Amino acid sequence: MVTASETLLSAISKYEVVIGLEVHVQLLTATKAFCACSTKFGAPPNTNVCPVCLGLPGALPVLNKRAVEFATLAALALNCEIRETSIFARKNYFYPDLPKGYQISQYDRPIAEHGHINIKVNGESKRIGITRLHMEEDAGKSLHDGFPDSDKNTYIDLNRSGVPLVEIVSEPDMRTPDEAHEYLTRLKEIILYTGVSDCNMEEGSLRCDANISVRPWGQKEFGTKAEVKNVNSFRFIKQALEYEIERQVELIESGGKVAQETRLYNSSEGKTYSMRSKEQAHDYRYFPEPDLRPLVVDATWQSEIKKTMPELPEARRTRLVSDYGITEQDAGVLTMTRSRADQFEEAAKHSKNPKRVANLVQGELMGRLKAKGIDMEQSPISMKGVAVSADLVEANAISGKMLKDFYDIAFERGKDFPIVYAEEGSPKQSTDTGALEKIIDEAIAANPSQLAQYRGGKKTVAAFFVGQVMKASKGQFSPAVVNELVGKKLDG
Ligand code: ADP
Ligand code: ZN
Ligand code: MG
């Protein structure tokens, strides 16, 4: 039997994969792109609407300045060039959730072009080009399920109609589903840092359409692409792309041709299905939007917007490595969100050993979070708590074993480290050498044959005694102290 991954491996040994992604990101403005209606998610259906976003005759759009600032900030963060004068265009198509019969978008003169994102896959860095970033409005939502008469009727919620989006179109620069996954991860991270979107995929604030084709290795022209639409997680996008590679290669190998079409991914089956062919594709009949003036974002405005740019993840990773002496891997984990990086830096500044803080995050915090199935943002132990615990270990006040126990208690009680440490009476690692000596004497008395080995010259047996003592003393004593005293006793 041939497994899926073998099929995939054999496919990519003969064919090169080409992937380009189109990502829609909803901007976090309080009001819609061309009217004053609220953009709040989850309001009762059709309550955030007005003549403009309902497309009533005679209503005129007024551009939201904040949306322009957000789009420009996102574009700059993605290394794009800003077009000083961009043009809104009507994209015409007929669909029940599009009351005007067109969507206001941008076409041949988008607000931004020629950007890129750097990605790293299997240790190799690569630059993925961004063709363009343009502004547009969202359509409404058709609701097909959840009503008693869903078999007969579709319901329309126009709260989303007119919500501002940017569409970010990549160059066909990706060569594997892993690269696509990494591109999306980095893109989302950058957008989140800028604060222009919450990128919440469940609420549709970030949506991705994936274009994919294959060509025999060495062929210059691209193969015919298929577009996979509306996949709602990065993991599913990767799976859908893997499925498409197998499907397209199998089709070509059996003498067929890949059709240019739009496909949908069924995540429970792990397969894509044809939704519409090129013949059925829309002819959008784009033309300049007559109700809006050209959008001018001049140099002065651009530089004002630039001033609101935070340090971006890539730069921050580099800086954390050099400022705190942490590893690149640590920096990667600690910069995954802006608030996490802020927290770490706040903690690291007040800690005697930022490196230990980073190590504890990787070594003690991540595993416990994973076991509990929660994100760092929901961690009972804050970065400050990690810093406090790191400093206690640093000062030999508590042992590594004690730290682990307190982390367990913190997770059990859902409380931060300093709180549970205080609740337990702020115990210190014992410096009572009398008690320690007693434990060592007992360990030596209980293991005469090991003692004989040691005295016979096998010095490595000391480690056995150290282990016995650490266990018997339940980690109350620092390993350094135990090592020293055990050595003395064995020799003496
Ligand atoms: P369309 O005219 O069908 O919208 P575009 O040229 O505008 O196609 O490209 C849309 C997206 O598809 C872009 O992200 C682009 O990088 C990608 N793309 C274009 N051609 C290919 C191809 N042959 N294989 C994979 N992706 C492609
Ligand atoms: Zn409105
Ligand atoms: Mg296109």
Would the pLDDT of 1 be above 70? no
Euclidean distance between CA atoms 205 and 163, whole angstroms:
10
Q: Tokens for 12? A: 């990519």
Domains (range + CATH), the chain: 4-304 (no CATH), 313-423 (no CATH), 433-491 (1.10.10.410)
**Which ligand 1 atom lies nearest to the CA of residue 223?**
23
Helix (H, G, I), strand (E, B) or coil at 208: strand
Cα(52) to centroid(ligand 2), Å: 5
Give how far Cα 477 sits from Cα of 138, 187, 310, 397, 433, Å: 63, 48, 45, 9, 9
Give how far Cα 74 sits from Cα of 23, 112, 185, 379, 492, Å: 13, 10, 15, 29, 70
Cα(22) to centroid(ligand 3), Å: 9
Cα(86) to centroid(ligand 2), Å: 23
* Ligand 1 pocket member 262 (CB < 6 A): no
Would the pLDDT of 324 be above 80? yes
Closest ligand to residue 281's CA: 1
* Ligand 1 pocket member 52 (CB < 6 A): no
In this structure, the residue with its CA closest to atom 22 of ligand 1 is 225
Confidence of residue 275 (pLDDT cuts 50, 70, 90): confident
Torsion of CA 74, 79, 83, 88, to 10 degrees: -40
Of 321, 373, 367, which is closest to residue 344 (Cα–Cα)? 321
Closest ligand to residue 100's CA: 2
* Ligand 1 pocket member 16 (CB < 6 A): no
pLDDT tens sequence across 56-68:
999 999 999 999 9
* Ligand 1 pocket member 129 (CB < 6 A): no
Of the residues 169, 170, 209, 211, which should be mutated to test ligand 1's pocket, given the most ligand atoms within 8 Å of the CB?
A: 211
* Ligand 1 pocket member 211 (CB < 6 A): yes
Euclidean distance between CA atoms 399 and 483, whole angstroms:
14
Mean pLDDT of 51-57: 95
Residue 389: its pLDDT value, please?
93
Would the pLDDT of 467 be above 70? yes
Residue 362: its pLDDT value, please?
83
Residue 402: its pLDDT value, please?
87
* Ligand 1 pocket member 225 (CB < 6 A): yes
Residue 87: its pLDDT value, please?
98
Mean pLDDT, the chain, as a whole number? Answer: 91
Ion ligand 2 — residues with CB under 5 Å?
35, 37, 50, 52-53
pLDDT tens sequence across 343-359:
888 888 878 888 899 88
For the ranges 31-35, 254-258, 283-287, 384-388, the one whose mean pLDDT is highest:
31-35
Torsion of CA 339, 345, 346, 349, to 10 degrees: 180
For the ranges 65-69, 94-98, 397-401, 472-476, the one whose mean pLDDT is highest:
65-69
* Ligand 1 pocket member 210 (CB < 6 A): no
Share of the chain above pLDDT 90, in %: 65
At a CB cut-off of 8 Å and minimum separation 6, what does 184 contact?
A: 21, 23, 208, 234, 237
Mean pLDDT of 223-249: 93
Closest ligand to residue 48's CA: 2
Closest ligand to residue 23's CA: 1
pLDDT tens sequence across 208-227:
999 999 999 999 999 999 99
pLDDT tens sequence across 17-42:
999 999 999 999 999 999 999 999 88
Residue 149: its pLDDT value, please?
82
pLDDT tens sequence across 155-211:
999 999 999 999 999 999 999 999 999 999 999 999 999 999 999 998 899 999 999
Note the pTM of the prediction, 2 decimals. 0.83
**Which ligand 1 atom lies nearest to the CA of residue 227?**
12
